[in-house]
Every structure is written in C-alpha cells, then in structure tokens.
Chains A and B, each alone.
Chain A
C-alpha cells in the first residue's frame, strides 16, 4: 500500500518533467519571467517607457553586449572567464580608424582586418590559458590592459569620424516601423549559432562536462585545451565585430571606444543563469539576462536618475545573480532534508 502510494506521488511527476516542464520551470525560464516582470513594472511606473522609441533605444545599446555575451557564456560555462572583450573591441576600433582614415583602405578590407585583429587577440589569450596553463582571470585582466594600451599606440589621441555615411546610418537604422535595430539581424544569427553550438552539438555538451570537472572531461576523451582555445578565438572575433558596430553607431573610432563594457557583459551572463563556477547555463537565459540589464538601465535613465545610481544597480544585480543560485540551492537542500525527514517519520509511523 505504502509502496504504491510512493510510486504514484514520486514517479509520475518525474515522467511529467519532460521538456515542457524544463522549459517552463528551469533557471532559463526564471530569467525570462524576471525580464517580463521588469518590463511590465517599468511600463507601469516609468513615464514614456511603453513605446516604440524604447524598443529602439534599448535594443541598440544591447547589441554589443548581446554579441559579446554569447562566447562569454560558453567560456564561463567551462569555468573560465574573458575580461578582455571590451579592450579587444577597443583595439579593433582603433585599427579600424587608422586603416580607414590614415591608410585609406577600402572599408570592407578594413572590416576583415579588424576581425583578424580580434581573432589574434583571442588566440593570444587562448594560447596563454591553454598551452601555458595560466589562470584565465589573470591572463585576461592582463590583456584587458594590454589591448587597451595597444589601441592607444595604434590611434593615439586621434578620433576618426569620417566613416561612410551609408554604413553609419545603417548601424543606427531600424527595421521598418518596429523600432528594432537592423543590426539585430546579425545578433540573431550569432545567438542562434551559439545556441545550436552549445545545446545541440557534442562540442557544446562537452563544455558543460568541462565546467563540472576538467579531469573527468579529459578522462572521457574531451579535448579540453582545444575546446577552450577556440572559445577564446571566437570571443576575440565576436568582440572585434562588436567594436566595428560600436564605431559605426557612434561614427567615431578612438582609443577609449567600448571602455568598461566587459562588466556589463559578465553581469548579464551571470544574471542569465550561467553559474560563475562553470558547468551550467543556457543561451535563452543569457539573452534574457542582457535584456534585463539593459531594461533596468534604460528605465532608470529614462526616469532621469544619474549614472551613479546605474553603476550601483548594475553592481547589485551582478552580486544578486551570483548569490541567488547558491541561496536557492541552500533552500532546496533544506527543503529536501525536511521532506526526507517527513518521509522518514511517515514510513516509521506506518
């Protein structure tokens, strides 16, 4: 009797926990719910928030963060980090300015060169981290400063602003009357590629294993270093692409372009449910995380609050996103204990 009961109460829900359940209740889903909640609250409380202009202004600032967040998510899932993304973007912005303005290259060749610069930056990080085996935090803090320094060497005090008007106008254009920036098409492609890569390929699944335990991953035949190396190369390339967008959007290439964006990217990825310890996370959550950061920032700006408040809020969200999973894990643990105690009491009573 008691056997049958425990079967019905325990087993059936387990079977019902299919894809649908995971979709609606997983950590990814929580982030999406939080995003929806924040959008609703902002629409109610912040004057002017509900409107097409918001979509356009909010999303255009999300473009570089979304781009950089994709490889960043994969890197953090493997238990590493890349803090040099904004400096890589800054360096390619500087290269873009110099090659276009001083060397008079064709703009399309300039783009190619910028992406190559980004890939090289990523490869440099990758080699130091995988071949030499240095900790990624230390390496990328170093290259954060190094790439920014190189940007200063490349472009110096100059600001290049005379980029082709069709391209700068394209960077700020929107799709029809929707307010969605045209550049979002590229972002969508990048997001889809990374989502497929992470969730639907052996390479992606190996990344989770890698984040859980490097030794175990190596043991089951995952090429740990090779995977990590290519992630850093991808991160460099995508960061360079974000740098190109940045320059076109602001019609200005200079040594301090994209300064400080790495913090928003890391915050968004963690807020999106990727564990800072590696091993878990998902692309849907990361996209929602980026949009949460942007929505909160934009609604505070729209409300006329100063930058100081924004910095504090971004920082708090980052801390919250690191704390929340461990708090919920602890809650879950104590819940399980209570339940097993109850179950124990029940069975002993029976």
Chain B
C-alpha cells in the first residue's frame, strides 16, 4: 500500500513537472542567438502588462527586428518589485545574455545582481528608471527630468488659474524617475513667484496599480474636498484618477494633469474630465536602447559623455552628463491634437 502511495505521488509530480518542463522547453529556443555579428538583448521592465511599458518594449522589438541577428527577449515581474527583478537578472547572467536593459524598481536593490551580470560579460543599460550610476554603462531617459517637472506644474497652474490646493498622485514611493520629477515640481512651486498662491497639500502613492491608484484618488478627494488639481506623473495613476473623476461630482471641477497614454486618456479628454496632459513617445526609448546596445556590443561607444551613436529613425543620439541619453522633449496632448497619436 505504501508502494502504491509512492507511485501515486510520484506520478502526480512527474505529470506536473513534465507539463511545466514541456512549456519551459517550448519557449526557450530564442535564448542562445549569440552568433558572430548579432547579439542578444533582454529587457527587464518594472513590471509586465503595463500599457506604457508595452509601448516602450514595442519600440525595442521593432528596432531589434529591423537590425538583423538581434535576439530580443523580455522577462520581468508581475508586480513592480525589485527582488523579483533580481531573480530574472540572475537567470539572464546565467544565460550569458549580451545586453540587459532594465527599468529599476529600486536603484540599489538590483545593483549587486547587475554587477554579477557585468562580471559575466554583459553590458547594462537602464531605461526609464535609473540604478545607482556605477551599476550601468548607459541610462536612456525620456526627457530631461526638470522639463517633466516644469511642464506638469505649468499645466496644472494654467488650469486652476494659479491659485488653490493641489496634490500629487505618484507610482511607488521609491520610483527613481517619479521622485526626480516630483523634486523638480516642488522646487518650481517654491521658487517661481507665479505659483505663490498654489499650495501642494499631499503626495500619495498608487503603486502603479490601477485599483490602488483609484482608491488613493478617491481618498485624496475625500480628505481634501477643496482640492483644485491633481498631478499624476504616471500613466497608471492618471488613467485611474481620470476614471474616478469622470464618474464623480468632481468631474470638470478638479483639474487633472500628468503623464498619460493618448489611447488611455482619449475618452477622458473628449468627455471633459481632462483638459491637457503630457508625454513623450515611449516607443523611442525601446528603440534607443536597442541601438545603444548594438553600439556598446560593437565597441563603438563605451557610454562615456560625448559618445554618439546612430539610432535608426531617431537619428544620431548623444551621451550626455551622467552617461545619460535623452530621447526627446515631452509633448502636450489636448482635445485638438490627441487624435493624431495612436499609442
């Protein structure tokens, strides 16, 4: 009878593991494409299934397809967590991937894993959200952080007539990029005399999760009923906040600005919940990352300030201070131009 039990249990586990190993084996053939001219690049986004990230990665995928011999892959966590990113970085190290392009959930937590990858011969590029400087060769940034901060404050100030309480609804509390923008917003609000009558009452975090952001937006307006405007410098946060506003009595009364995807924000611009928001074309980041990877692997650049490389449609890009490549200035979207964009 015990023998039978052993049999039953091992049969169950074998079946389960076979199934798993089966799908595992089925999905790997692309991982070992390190031929003489080509190279492999793996993107590690902050989290998978994030609409903004998907557009970024789409740009990378297109660029990888345009260049021949580039083995492109994406791995990453489901929720924006640094520890899970580390596990994936470890697997990439083991697979000897040539270039790891990562948007860090925590600037320090991923560092030792990245350094291990580097020791194994990989080149490290960060995009979107940087790591500590010594952990990567290059940082591909959307825009100058300061410009983002300034444009957000400008948009909200215009919509509330330069007077009243505002709040910020951000992503995670440790998100490198959001925190940099928020710092510039705060500095601008404090130093610019035009904004003297604007009062930043709260900074809250929706963790880049739709439900959490929605609830946080709701909480914000019940805590501060006199709120005139909200800045949400994250695509998840602004969409969730817009959804809440559009169904509440605050619709059209509370100004909402931030960084949004035109496709997600279109209905709220058209129904009057949102007047204007901003963003750059995220696909360009993926594209720039792939071309930068190519140049790094070929050895034509090392990532030092002043290096330049060709980046397909984007023309020639230049490495600036802090080994950072800036892709483009932010674009403002409103009812007049939103239909020209599809992403």
Q: List the interface of chain A (C-beta within 8 A of B).
A: 25, 30, 33-34, 37-38, 41-42, 44-48, 51, 53-54, 57, 61, 156-157, 159, 161, 168, 172, 246, 249-252, 254-256, 259, 296-309, 311, 313, 316-317, 320, 324, 327-328, 331-332, 335-336, 339
Contact = CB atoms under 8 A, between A and B. Distances in A.
Nearest to A53: B94
Nearest to B23: A305
B109 A252 contact: yes
B162 interface: no
A37 B14 contact: yes
Given A45-B21, A45-B24, 7 more contacts: A25-B3, A44-B21, A47-B28, A57-B94, A307-B48, A308-B49, A331-B8
Interface in B8-46: 8-10, 12-14, 16-18, 20-25, 27-28, 31-32
Contact of B9 (A34, A299, A302, A304): A34
Contact of B13 (A38, A54, A255, A313): A38
Contacts of A51: 94
B250 interface: no
B24 A303 contact: yes
Given A25-B6, A38-B17, A250-B83, A305 B24 contact: yes
A335 B4 contact: yes
Interface of B: 1-6, 8-10, 12-14, 16-18, 20-25, 27-28, 31-32, 48-49, 73, 75-79, 81-84, 86-88, 90-91, 93-95, 106-109, 111-112, 132, 172-174, 205
A313 B13 CA distance: 12
B13 A168 contact: no
Contact of A25 (B2, B14, B82, B109): B2
Contacts of A339: 1
28 contacts: A33-B6, A37-B13, A38-B17, A41-B18, A41-B21, A47-B32, A47-B95, A57-B87, A57-B91, A156-B173, A159-B108, A172-B112, A249-B112, A250-B82, A250-B112, A255-B173, A256-B172, A297-B87, A299-B20, A299-B21, A301-B88, A302-B95, A304-B73, A304-B75, A306-B48, A307-B77, A335-B4, A336-B1
Contacts of B112: 168, 172, 249-251
A53 B24 contact: no
Contacts of A316: 16
Contacts of B93: 53, 57
A335 to B, nearest CB: 5
Contacts of A307: 48, 76-79, 84
Contacts of A57: 87, 90-91, 93-94
B9 A324 contact: yes
Contacts of A159: 106-108, 174
Contact of A250 (B22, B48, B75, B109): B109
Given A301-B87, A307-B48, A328 B94 contact: no
B94 to A, nearest CB: 4
Contacts of B81: 256, 259
A303 B13 contact: no
A251 B108 contact: yes
Contacts of A41: 14, 17-18, 21
Nearest to A30: B9
A299 B17 CA distance: 11
Contacts of B12: 320, 324
Contacts of B16: 316-317, 320
Which among B5, B14, B18, B95 has the highest number of chain A CB atoms within 10 Å?
B5
A328 B9 CA distance: 8
A308 B77 CA distance: 8
A308 B90 contact: no
A216 B23 CA distance: 49
Contacts of B86: 250
B78 A304 contact: no
B111 to A, nearest CB: 7
Contacts of A335: 1, 4
Given A45-B21, A48-B95, A300-B20, A305 B27 contact: yes
**The 5 nearest A-B residue pairs measured at CB:** A303-B24, A157-B173, A307-B78, A161-B108, A45-B21
Contacts of B23: 303, 305, 309
Nearest to A169: B112
Contacts of B94: 48, 51, 53-54, 57, 302
Contacts of B111: 251
Given A34-B10, A320-B12, A251 B109 contact: yes
Nearest to B81: A259
B75 A306 contact: yes
Counting chain B CB atoms within 10 Å of each CB, the highest count among A34, A250, A251 belongs to A250
Contact of B8 (A251, A303, A328): A328
A33 B8 contact: no
B4 A298 contact: no
Q: Looking at A255, A297, A305, A339, which has the most chain B CB atoms within 10 Å of its CB?
A: A305
Contacts of B84: 307
A331 B17 contact: no
B87 A42 contact: no
Contact of A304 (B22, B28, B205): B28
B75 A301 contact: yes
Nearest to B42: A304
Nearest to B207: A256
A64 B87 CA distance: 14
Looking at A53, A303, A327, A335, the one whose CB has the most chain B CB atoms below 10 A away is: A303
